[in-house]
Structure 1
Amino acid sequence: MPVNRSAAPSAADGLPQDFGALLREDPEIAGVLLGELDRQSGTLQLSAAENFTSPAVLAALGSPLANKYAEGYPGHRHHGGCAQADAAERIAVRRATALFGADHANVQPHSGTSAVLAAYAALLSPGDTVLAMGLPDGGHLTHGSSANISGRWFDFIGYGTDPETGIIDYAQVRALARAHRPKAVVSGSIAYPRHPDHALFRDICDETGALLIADAAHPMGLIAGGAAPSPVPYADVVCATTHKVLRGPRGGLLLCRAEFAERVDRAVFPFTQGGAQMHTIAAKGVALGEAATPDFAAYAHRVVARARELAAGLAAEGFALSTGGTDTHLIVADPAPLGVDGPTARDRLAGAGMVLDTCALPCGEARGIRLGTAAVTTQGLDAGDMARLAVLIGAAVRGEDGILDRVRELAASHPPYPG
């Protein structure tokens, strides 16, 4: 069964609490919201970056804190009337540090990208050398893309994966760190289905005098639920999102050692951001509270189990899996054995009601598909559903007819917001 649902869900779950007023005052936008709810309910969300929040998180997002301007930090705001805003942020910070065992947390970043760029601002100076996973191997735009400020302000060196196994080439990481003596090493990826070796990254940094920044945007919810190892004991700064597996609102999160707390806070505000989005911070607090429960821990482990089941089914359908499988919520699959490339597979799957992304395949220029099981696990799909889903994915990629109706039937049996 889906978790974080009340015993008697309201028919308004998944919509603003005062949706009737919106429908009367702006039917054009109301129609968009209804259309999106229909899309989410009638298709399967397999993007590794998406999930369904609880109704409680949605309620916080639509709360009166959306009206509050609160530049600064609790007790040191640039605006009056911030007592409740301060209380909400202190709750979110307290829950984040307790959940992840961190010295300090900053819950203000507007996104995962904002969090990473703030970490760079806190620890680096323009022109510094940074070692991070190369974009062709699964690195994020903030890991040195020339289209991103990271690639324009810093000198990024990319490390990669073993061409045979798809596993991070730690010998290469160490050799590059020794050769370039970077100011920081970034661990983390948007398309790596295995757990990084945090202790080994720390050892490489200690040997070469580098700081360690962990970009844990994807596995943070698994870490919260004890289904993935934590980088917090090893990294100087940990960057994350609060959506994805963590199942909170779209936003970012920073954790750091006490010695970097002031630098991190000043890097977020006033250096890279203005006023905090207090309704989002309240929603982050709700999600962090939910993530501290035994139910969420069980959910996180189910996410991994569903991913492994789906990966096995995709392999049986003929897909080539990066690293041979997964330890996380994320699967990277090459549809080439089925006769199509990644973009074609994505488009065929979208037409069949299964929404996912493409990504670079390790050690090459081809693109595959990236799937995640966080959202479908929230909906309550089980092991049998994963076997069924793998068959549907294979059939859709091969261009077979009649798949959309079967996907809609599966989605309808597991509504994200019952009612």
Structure 2
Amino acid sequence: MAVNTVQLQDQADLLRRGMADLRAEDLELAMLLDAEVERQHRTLSLVPSSCAVKPRTLAASASALVNVTAEGTRGSRHRAGCENVDRVESLAIGRARELFDAHYAHVQSHSGSHANAQVLSALLEPGDTLLGMAPDHGGHLTYGSPSIFTGAYYKAIRYGTTAEGLIDYAQVRSLALAHRPRVILCGASAYSRVVDFERFRAIADEAGAILLADISHIAGLVATGRHPSPINAAHVTTTCTHKQLGGPRGGLILCGRDAHTKVPGLRATFSRVLDQAVFPRMQGAPAVNMIAAKAAALGYAMTAEFDACMGRVRSLADELAGAFLARGYEVVGGRSENHTVQIRLRDGISGSIAEVALESCGIVVNTHRVPGQARACAVDNGLCIGTGSMAQRNIDTDGCRQVVDLVCRILQQVTPLGEHEYRLEPAMQAQLRAELEHLCAKYPIADYWES
């Protein structure tokens, strides 16, 4: 298709006018948005799910597609005026299939959690058995937590990790054969080692179960060949697009070799039941501007620049784990094989204290339970640290060691006064905050936005 420079200019004019109007007519909101950009510049996120989007993705999410209502799928809409929406959705689907070597892709899900809900609604009836990783051991809430729909609608059986923090595959097999779940869900929100999808498929086949893999936290590593892919091992794979893929808030549903096989117990194929589960069963009109943003992110994920960034994600995780080990911290699982490093807190410091104290000095982290936790469920005893934002900032080996040094020094300066209260001298906090901001200035996120 020939590029129409007038149309491109029109879109650019809309974006410029929108920002100008916002500042002129709603200064309060404009200032809050500007404050968030400044916060991201001056703080360092070590949250495993945290990655910045490219300006091209921001522009796509703010496009005029937001004005289009487009229930249905490409070529089968319930509204007129969707010819460009169809092209955008086709582009996103094609890129998702190419990036993950998938036979089927659905790009309308509003989030990874929505994608999981849609897949499970297609494969399970209320009361059916679901086997998933326990949230306390690193699983996501959608894997069977009693606090949300999976625990409320399905009979959720949960597997965990060993004392060393590794997936207990023997337990998975034992539970699968004992309970004969309709679906086994594998993947994790807080797990630092490789997930053996082929082993999960063998267990699923032996138990007569359907295997659903969630790669939301490792999608970039999977796409670049740095983690084994589940696409042909699992019957269905889901991922969000806003973590390692650096895209908008949204989800994808993918299938490999099983895309066009019939779902056990049903007359329809996986691709057919998944299409119907998204629309009309679980979701109305898609956010087509976000589908465009997904297409932008997926396009970037095919570049050499993205591949290099994922290489830094892996090497920084190795460096991070080694640096914490050298400081005497226990690294759960002994090392990292993806983007995540989990450490056990010590010196009486709870996760809630560590999170608040570190953020007061400009470092944002996730807390998480680690094996053998003795504290109450509401108070975590570990940190779950990711390297996505560090990789985007081009932080090198020396910078990584400085990050670990700052984290350790902040925690050393904290005096716990309970499970939630602590003391950190204001002068020391100000000094550590200044050092962190200097580090952020040395490795600016602006370099990623401008590259």
**TM-score scaled by length of structure 2:** 0.87
Match of residue 211 from structure 1: 210
Match of residue 197 from structure 2: 198
- Tell me the CA shift for residue 399 of structure 1: 2.0
More off after superposition, 120-129 vs 256-265: 256-265
Amino acid at match of 2:65: L
Q: 1:62-81 counterparts in 2 under 5 A?
A: 62-81=62-81
- Tell me the CA shift for residue 177 of structure 1: 0.7
Match of residue 228 from structure 1: 227
1:302 and 1:377 in contact (8 A); partners too: yes
Amino acid at match of 2:223: A
1:216 and 1:240 in contact (8 A); partners too: yes
- Cα distance in 1, alignment partners of residues 70 and 343 from structure 2: 44
Match of residue 342 from structure 1: 351
Amino acid at match of 2:136: P
- Tell me the CA shift for residue 134 of structure 1: 1.1
- Cα distance in 2, alignment partners of residues 64 and 363 from structure 1: 51
Match of residue 396 from structure 2: 382
Candidates 280, 285, 302, aligned match of 1:292? 302
Residues 56-78 of structure 1, C-alpha deviation per residue, up to 9 Å, x if partnerless? 11110111111111111001111
Amino acid at match of 1:36: E
Q: Secondary structure at the match of 1:358?
A: strand
- Cα distance in 2, alignment partners of residues 82 and 417 from structure 1: 36
- Tell me the CA shift for residue 417 of structure 1: 2.5
Residues 319-348 of structure 1, C-alpha deviation per residue, up to 9 Å, x if partnerless? 221101211111111112x43121111111
5+ residue gaps, structure 1, are 1-15
- Cα distance in 1, alignment partners of residues 77 and 445 from structure 2: 38
- Tell me the CA shift for residue 295 of structure 1: 2.2
- Tell me the CA shift for residue 363 of structure 1: 4.5
- Cα distance in 2, alignment partners of residues 66 and 211 from structure 1: 36
- Tell me the CA shift for residue 364 of structure 1: 3.3
Match of residue 282 from structure 2: 272
Match of residue 250 from structure 2: 251
- Cα distance in 1, alignment partners of residues 122 and 371 from structure 2: 31
Q: Does 1:100 align with 2:100?
A: yes
- Tell me the CA shift for residue 152 of structure 1: 0.4
- Cα distance in 2, alignment partners of residues 328 and 193 from structure 1: 6
- Cα distance in 1, alignment partners of residues 199 and 372 from structure 2: 22
- Tell me the CA shift for residue 294 of structure 1: 2.3
- Cα distance in 2, alignment partners of residues 277 and 284 from structure 1: 11
2:185 and 2:213 in contact (8 A); partners too: yes
- Tell me the CA shift for residue 122 of structure 1: 1.3
- Cα distance in 2, alignment partners of residues 234 and 364 from structure 1: 33
Amino acid at match of 2:214: D
- Tell me the CA shift for residue 46 of structure 1: 1.0
- Cα distance in 2, alignment partners of residues 301 and 254 from structure 1: 25
Could you list the runs of 4 or more consecutive aligned residues of structure 1 that deviate by over 6 angstroms after TM superposition?
none
Match of residue 403 from structure 1: 432
Match of residue 313 from structure 2: 303
Match of residue 442 from structure 2: 413
- Cα distance in 2, alignment partners of residues 68 and 227 from structure 1: 38
Identical residues among aligned pairs (%): 40
2:142 and 2:150 in contact (8 A); partners too: yes
Q: Does 1:282 align with 2:292?
A: yes
Match of residue 322 from structure 1: 332
Q: Secondary structure at the match of 2:384?
A: strand
1:379 and 1:414 in contact (8 A); partners too: yes
- Cα distance in 2, alignment partners of residues 362 and 288 from structure 1: 36
Match of residue 356 from structure 1: 365
Q: 1:67 to 1:363 in 2, by over 3 A?
A: farther
**TM-score scaled by length of structure 1:** 0.93
- Cα distance in 2, alignment partners of residues 101 and 365 from structure 1: 43
- Tell me the CA shift for residue 267 of structure 1: 0.8
Amino acid at match of 2:125: S
- Tell me the CA shift for residue 79 of structure 1: 1.2
Q: CA RMSD in A?
A: 1.5
Amino acid at match of 2:315: A
1:99 and 1:292 in contact (8 A); partners too: yes
- Cα distance in 2, alignment partners of residues 297 and 81 from structure 1: 37
- Tell me the CA shift for residue 150 of structure 1: 0.6
1:133 and 1:186 in contact (8 A); partners too: yes
Q: 1:246 to 1:365 in 2, by over 3 A?
A: farther
Match of residue 265 from structure 2: none
1:242 and 1:248 in contact (8 A); partners too: yes
2:122 and 2:274 in contact (8 A); partners too: yes
- Tell me the CA shift for residue 311 of structure 1: 1.6
Match of residue 183 from structure 2: 184
- Tell me the CA shift for residue 275 of structure 1: 0.9
- Cα distance in 2, alignment partners of residues 415 and 189 from structure 1: 30
2:342 and 2:384 in contact (8 A); partners too: yes
Q: 1:42-191 counterparts in 2 under 5 A?
A: 42-163=42-163, 165-191=164-190
- Cα distance in 2, alignment partners of residues 47 and 147 from structure 1: 23
- Tell me the CA shift for residue 203 of structure 1: 0.4
1:245 and 1:374 in contact (8 A); partners too: yes
- Cα distance in 1, alignment partners of residues 403 and 373 from structure 2: 28
1:161 and 1:363 in contact (8 A); partners too: no
- Tell me the CA shift for residue 374 of structure 1: 0.5
- Cα distance in 2, alignment partners of residues 265 and 50 from structure 1: 29
1:138 and 1:362 in contact (8 A); partners too: no
- Cα distance in 1, alignment partners of residues 371 and 295 from structure 2: 36
